[in-house]
Structure 1
Amino acid sequence: MTRLLIKNGAFITMDEEQLQFQGWMAIEGSRIAGLGAGAAPEQEISQASEIMDGKGMLFMPGLVNTHGHAAMSLLRGMADDLALQEWLQNHMWPAEAKFTGDDVYWGSSLAAAEMIKSGTTTFVDMYDHMHRVAEVTEQSGLRASLTRGVIGLCSEEEQKTKLAEAIQFARDWHGAAEGRINVMISPHAPYTCPPDYILKFVEAAHDLDLPMHTHMSETLAEVEQNVRDYGYRPVEHLDRLGMFSRPTLLAHAVHLKDEEIALLAERKVAVSHNPVSNLKLASGVARVPELLQAGVTVSLGTDSAASNNNLDLFQEITMAALLHKGVSGDPTVIPAAEALRMGTVYGARSIGHGGVTGQLKAGLKADFIAISLNKPHFVPYTDYISHLAYTARGSDVAHVWVDGRQLLRHGQLLTLDEERILAEAERCYQRLRG
């Protein structure tokens, strides 16, 4: 089994016991075999089949993007500066109605290339034609939690077909790609799925023993509509439907009351905070400091490249660290280390990967990235935690590994044909716009 030794590097582990140090790390197969401060022990050097000099590099856990729609990369820049419902109903949904499996494949490939090159090693994706997204995940080497997102504003026959597709996708792909692919069950949102339909997804999640993922309370208008239609705000509505009886990840959760935050904490529901997308669509600012204080696991997502307009999770980390300071008037909320946890260890925890990924620690999966420090915006080397939260960007990523396999070397993709992906994605867009 191949054993890689990285020496002379700077390390940010996101492990409270050993957060940052100069030293070494050993990788054997798909896992971290050991790491420590100072010079690499002679025993590690003698056991290594490959040695990498990490001088000038900062190694950290790979980033975890907990909400997105990868194929929508094809719609980047197609409709900007609009409110959510107008953006969705008048621009996104009509364009997406034209999507074929081929479009989803190349749009997801474009997203995978962007994510790898900017340091994301695990992503959550909710879309249609999900077997094509799974194929991209398998080919790219990324780790993912995938789900067939279902909009239930259709006939009963269509609802049955979509639910059957979601269940079959879970049976076909959960645990695939050497365990790198997990599956979640996803009714799109409480405002796009009738209550009795959501109940069927909850039942399927129990039958398959899978977690759930949905959009919730993204806009104030959505919350008000939920009260008009069903008599309850979305949190209580979904709780009454039993969704929170399963491990659940909510995207957005912008408009919450104190008692709703308390309920989410009690039910151990996780939240994917999408600050850039929420700001661009003027959806509002999620109450992240209050969620974290209540004990809710809060991670970070980009949402799609159509509402962001990139998949650089470092931008989300920076925004999470800055936005809530400005809104609250308190410069101590969401400090740099907490923002980094949201992009790494909290992200892993929110999708059931706690103790598997999200940290650099012996025994955990070898999902990690290397950032080139030889750039003006990292000098002087005062505080790497600060630099990662406030100055790093995706373009600083030089190397990426997932499951111990290198996916990016010196900024060059090793598992995907970038040139072809760019050409095919542009071809797909030209057809969609026509």
Structure 2
Amino acid sequence: MKTIITHANVITVNDQNEVIADGAVAFEGNRITYVGPTPGDLSGYDQVIDGRHKYVLPGLINTHGHAGMSLLRGYADDLPLQEWLEEKMWPLEAQFTREQVKWGTHLSLIEMIRSGTTTFVDMYDHMGAVAEAVASSGMRARLCRGVIGLTSEEERRRKLEEATTFAREWNQQADGRITTMMAPHAPYTCPPDYIMQIVERAEVLNLPIHIHMSETRFEVEQNVKDYGVRPVAHLENLGVFRRPTLVAHAVHLTDEEIETLAKYDVKVSHNVVSNLKLASGVARVPEMLAKGIDVSLGTDSSASNNNLNLFEELKLAAILHKGVTYNPVAVPAEEALRMATRYGAACVFQPEALGSLEVGKQADMIMLDASQAHYHPAHNPVSHVVYAANGHDVTDSIVAGTFLMRNRELLTIDEEKAVSEANRMFQLLKR
């Protein structure tokens, strides 16, 4: 079917940061076929959607999260990271079954679709349940079985095989919407030889690596105490950066470490809300961007955020760094929007297919209701998206040319059932 959205404000996020007033985007199958002014002749299209009073822009890309953890939203707030993890999160997560992860993931998918995310990265356990949920929902995701190595040798071997099997079997599934990675959880949760084994598997499978890194001062200091070097040098020595790598957080970096990440073209997921809520600190995003590092946006889990509304990350990424650097142009609106789209595409290692509205790219896009008062006067659509919009403004969500939400109606997930089941799954946990 040939579909065209007409008479909209089209925010392309292309190389020219082009915004097309009275613009149109057309797609057929899963690909964009036209981006430009609204044509006078629309007779060649099977479906014409009037986009008046709408913004059309690329779907947002959330580059770090743990979808199943939505069951723990609000359970243990206002704690330091290590206490939050070790005393609150890990004991409950150890009880998670496939069903818990399934319904926690469905809850997260609903939230992401409703708030404009079309692609996300997920690192967790029971990843088969996550992949199945993604496949049926129509979303796009880069998935990995997170591996913690603070266990027996036998358990480490089992986890590695499980992660390898998942990565092999699910890569390029769901018509290519699902891709995979290998994921040692973090330098402080995986012995060095175990990280090296995971890197070897990533090389065999020709897959990227995703890992938490330098999230807290405690983590960095512990790495120096245990291994004599900070996490960046540690991972470099272990060969992690030989593979395409996406690191989550990267809050505590030196100038030298930023240079190292740039040297290896390491990608970074900036989880600004989660890092602030857990008092982990503020990542040096302007400095990383200045060195050409692809810095994208991630929510982390809704247990540490406490939502998956990437518009919150988008605005905060634009304004927080102005405040801490006393520089009003530290992260301009245009750059923040690229972090949520183009740089996100680079961080999921699909820059040729995602992140902007251009002919030939995947038809992943969202529509915002710009008729509302907070979009007016309509001086600058990019500014309004970054500083004024929010996830509740999303009316339509399209992935690979398929509507997942149309006029705010979810089309691929039973929201009432998912909410009910998620609440039931939490009640089964022993607390």
Task: Pick the TM interval, shorter chain.
Answer: over 0.9
- Tell me the amino acid that sits aligned with residue 64 of structure 1: I
Structure 1: distance between partners of 2:348 and 2:239: 19
What are the within-5 Å matches in structure 2 for residues 5-84 of structure 1?
5-17=4-16, 19-22=18-21, 23-37=23-37, 39-42=38-41, 45-84=42-81
Amino acid paired to 1:296: I
2:324 counterpart letter in structure 1:
V
Per-residue CA deviations over 1:126-175 (Å, capped at 9, x if unaligned) read 00000000001001100000000000000000000000000000111000
User: What's 2:91 paired with?
Assistant: 94
Identity of aligned residues (%): 56
Q: CA deviation at 1:19?
A: 1.4
Other-structure match for 1:135: 132
- Which one of 326, 335, 338 corresponds to residue 338 of structure 1? 335
Within the alignment, does 1:117 sit opposite 2:114 as a pair?
A: yes
1:138 alignment partner AA? A
Which residue, out of 301, 326, 336, partners 1:329? 326
In the superposition, the TM-score normalised over structure 1's length comes to 0.98
d(CA) in 2 for partners of 1:16 and 1:208? 32
1:231 positional shift: 0.7
Matched, 1:416 2:424: no
CA distance in 2, matches of 1:294, 1:28: 38
Alignment of 1:154-169 (within 5 A): 154-169=151-166
Asked if the contact 2:118–2:139 (Cα under 8 Å) also holds between the matched residues in 1, the reply is yes
Q: What letter matches 1:212 in structure 2?
A: I
The correspondence for 2:312, drawn from 315, 319, 344, is 315
Q: How many residues align?
A: 430
Shift of 1:26: 0.9
Cα distance in 1 for partners of 2:4, 2:203 equals: 43
Residues of 2 paired with 1:53 and 1:231: CA distance? 61
Trace 1:7-406 onto structure 2 (pairs within 5 A): 7-17=6-16, 19-22=18-21, 23-37=23-37, 39-42=38-41, 45-406=42-403
Partner Cα distance (1:19, 1:75) in 2: 41
C-alpha displacement of 1:347: 0.2
- Once residues 63 and 306 of structure 2 are traced to their aligned partners in structure 1, the CA distance between those partners, rounded to angstroms, is 16
8 A contact 2:17–2:334 mirrored in 1: no
Unpaired runs of 5+ residues, structure 2, are: none
CA shift digits 1:199-237 (9 cap, x unpaired): 000000000000000000000010000000011100000
Letter of the 1:271 partner, please give it.
Answer: V
Aligned partner of 2:16: which letter? E
Structure 2 CA distance for aligned equivalents of residues 320 and 59 of structure 1: 21
Amino acid at match of 1:40: P
> 1-side partners of 2:120 and 2:143: how far apart?
8
Could you tell me how far apart the structure 2 residues matched to 1:166 and 1:99 are? 17
Q: Which amino acid aligns with 2:39?
A: A
Rounded Cα–Cα distance in structure 1 between residues aligned with 2:426 and 2:2: 43
State the distance in 2 between where 1:236 and 1:351 align.
Answer: 23
- The CA distance in 1 between the partners of 2:168 and 2:193, in whole Å, is 23
- Name the CA distance, whole Å, in 1 between partners of 2:5 and 2:372: 21
Per the TM alignment, residue 433 of structure 1 is displaced from its structure 2 partner at its CA by 4.8
**d(CA) in 2 for partners of 1:151 and 1:161?**
11
Deviation string 1:69-122 (CA, Å, 9 cap, x unpaired) is 000000000000000000000000001011000000000000000000000000
**Structure 1 runs of 4+ with >3 Å offset:** none
Q: TM-score normalized by structure 2?
A: 0.99
Aligned-pair RMSD on alpha carbons?
0.7
Counterparts of 1:363 and 1:4, CA distance in 2: 15
Cα distance in 2 for residues equivalent to 1:17 and 1:281: 37
Partner of 1:47, secondary structure, is: coil
The alpha carbon displacement at 1:6 in A equals 1.1
Q: Distance in 2 between matches of 1:171 and 1:338?
A: 35
Q: Aligned to 1:432, what secondary structure does the other structure show? A: coil
The counterpart of 2:423, out of the listed 404, 426, 429, is: 426
1:16-60 Cα shifts (integer Å, max 9, x gaps): 2351012111111100001112x3142xx1210000010011000
- Compute the displacement of 1:429 (Å): 1.1
| Counterpart-to-counterpart distance in 1, 2:290 and 2:374 | 32
- Name the CA distance, whole Å, in 1 between partners of 2:110 and 2:232: 35
Amino acid at match of 2:7: N
Question: What secondary structure sits across from 1:385 in the alignment?
Answer: helix
Cα distance in 2, alignment partners of residues 161 and 25 from structure 1: 47
Instruction: Give the AA of the match of 1:14.
Output: V
Q: Deviations over 1:285-315 (max 9, x none)?
A: 0000000001110000000000000000000
SS in 2 for 1:192: coil
Give the whole-Å Cα distance in 1 for the aligned partners of 2:40 and 2:351.
Answer: 29
- Cα deviation for residue 430 of structure 1 reads 1.2
Distance in 1 separating the partners of 2:371 and 2:72: 34
Distance in 2, matches of 1:238 and 1:423, equals 42
